[in-house]
Amino acid sequence: MAKVSQSEDAAAPSPDDVVSTYGDQLREKAATCRLMADKQREHAATFRDLAERGLPGSADMAEKTERAMRHMEQLGYVLAQQALAYDEMLAAGGPDNSRAYVEYEAMTRRLNELIPQDTLTD
């Protein structure tokens, strides 16, 4: 019997070949924000520990890091909600459904108002 071999064309698609939707991209960004918030939480704990040991400026850095953590948590929440709103709009017929699109735009405006305004620069 002859051996059967697969051609190179039959190989599984690489992750680069997969096209993500706008909703997928928003979910990825939301997950990244949550990961960044978790790291900031770890850093804030380290700064608090250093402050307890008397390292000058550590308490201030702990406070700033906690602000950054809250900022990233809020941004992650907003992005996740935006992804849900986008998915709902698509499920209702997409941009061709004028009512669904108007509701999506309204939700987008409300979510944009929730984006943290703290510049984290002070």
Sign of the dihedral defined by the CA atoms of residues 52, 53, 56, 62, in that order: negative
Residue pLDDT, tens place only, 14-42: 666 667 899 999 999 999 999 999 999 99
User: Residue 117's pLDDT band (boundaries 50, 70, 90)?
Assistant: confident
The confidence band for 101, taking pLDDT boundaries of 50, 70 and 90, is very high
pTM of the predicted model as reported, rounded to 2 decimal places:
0.78
Dist. CA 119–CA 8, nearest whole Å: 51
